[in-house]
Amino acid sequence: MIGSDRQHTLNAALSFEGIGLHTGEHATLTIEPGEPNTGYVFVRVDLDENPEIPALAGNVSETRRGTTLGANNATVHTTEHVLAALYANGVDNARLLLHGGEVPILDGSSLPFVEAIVQAGTKEQDAPRKFFNVRRNIAHRDENGCEMLLVPSDEDGFKLTVMVDYNSPILGTQHARLEGLSGFNESIASCRTFVFLKEVATLAEQGLIKGGDIDNAVVLAEREYSPEELNAIAKEVGRSELNEPAQTPGMLNPSNLRFPNEPARHKLLDIVGDLALTGRFIQGHVLAARPGHANNVAFAKLLQQQISAQENLPDFRTDRPSLLDINDITNLLPHRYPFLLVDRILDMDDQSITGVKNVTMNEPFFQGHFPDNPVMPGVLQVEAMAQVGGIFALSSVEDPEHYSTYFMKIDAVKFKQKVLPGDTLVFHLTLMSPIRRGLVNMKGRAYVRGELVSEAEMLAQVVRDRAPESAE
């Protein structure tokens, strides 16, 4: 399913009810099919006007012990488990109608959601699936030492590796790995949220586990607790007792762990649910060390920025016909060899222009920069960008042959990567403000093979300096 290049939604609506882990409030959730290109959208049907909350990283409002989304004066708590189930099963679009403020915790895993999705099935939609293909490493590290890294994968698809050191005599260091989302249902979905018994009283004081129970969370005790201590903790969480007979040492739950590394696998589950907030199926390998919701969401926001940048890239197909060839360019620009640094204009409208410079080893500047390590000077990258901008500026007048363009200011210049012989530079310039009084303010970016190599902001003035010849 994930390998499909078409979007999918549910065949039929799904319904769930239960209490929220943190709020302790009863809630009902109905998941309905969604229209193409709408993504995941929560709808608070219990509030006036049924406010909608798109499930996107930019809408995350809180990450304490779960992922909370907020928009349009409404919030939804603990979204990660249901989003992980939808995402891992190739559902691109769904409307999640929630009566209550928190998604029901059910058994503390994604399994009830997964089972319902599999039973209902999915259907293809008439829209291309949205992917994010990582081109180079993307890393994030927070102040607590939590790290996440997305690297290109040797094969198309999604991989996730998690390493967690709990500094605990019970759990120690754990590792979990997911080879493609197709393995989620069998090896990850059933893994429950967990909590250390020593944290329970504090969490209860913070009002974060009002719906917590040994039926919806794995409770771990790192030492032996007396009956009096257990009774005191039970009172904190509103239970009569906590000393049910456990089958696994260190667990208060009467059942065993579902996997020896169930806590690490649940961390993996949470990451999948939080990465669903990117709105894209990620093609790459995510490596996470000591992950948590705050770090997951920060990483998802970083990926969203990269996705937005990628979507705004120009059309890099240089095999298409030229809008302006070299003869047209020389009729507009006064530059000549060796200072003419634009070969073709691919397209142009009233807001932007895209041009091409083919960099060859025959460029005269390589003789001195540098003979044994040829690199295109950054200043000439900017000059080439400026020449493309000059053509764009001249397009704003009716008789450009009678005008010249002079650059007044160049700001915010950045160089990202080296430009080498054999590279094809694609320049894309866009207006930063409307053209007034001959002043053209532009943002320029230069790319090689889709990767940004340099950028700058430019202010140019179009000046009439050649009077038209009088007619005989």
Active site residues: 293, 369
What's the rounded Cα separation, in Å, for the pair 221 and 348? 66
CA distances from 387 to 27, 30, 136, 251, 458 (A): 61, 57, 30, 69, 11
Q: Can you say whether the dihedral through the CA atoms of 211, 213, 217, 219 is positive or negative?
A: positive
Beta bridge partners of 199: none
Question: Cα dihedral angle (452, 454, 459, 465), rounded to 10 degrees?
Answer: -110
CB 448 within 8 Å of CB 419: yes
In terms of C-beta density within 10 A (0-12 exposed, 13-18 middle, 19 or more buried), how is residue 127 classed? middle
Q: Which helix (H) or strand (E) holds 273?
A: helix 262-275
- Rounded CA separation 210/198 (Å): 16
For 233, half-sphere exposure in the C-beta direction (CA atoms, 13 angstrom radius) is: 23
With contact defined as beta carbons under 8 Å apart, do 387 and 456 qualify?
no
- Kindly state the tokens that stand for 99: 């009566």
Residue for token digits 């250390």? 196
Tell me the C-alpha distance between 406 and 51, whole Å.
Answer: 52
Instruction: Give CA angle at 110 (108, 115), nearest 5°.
Output: 125
Query: Can you state the percent helix, strand and coil of the chain, rounding each to 5?
Result: 25, 35, 45
- Count of beta carbons in the 10 Å neighbourhood of residue 288: 25
- Token code pair at residue 367: 């003789």
Which residues are bridge partners to 439 per DSSP? Answer: 436, 461
* Residue that the structure tokens 């004066």 belong to: 73
Beta bridge partners of 9: 93, 123
* Residue 469 dihedral angles phi and psi, to the nearest 5°: -70, 140
CB of 40 within 8 A of CB of 34?
yes
Burial of 231 (0-12, 13-18, 19+ CB in 10 A): middle
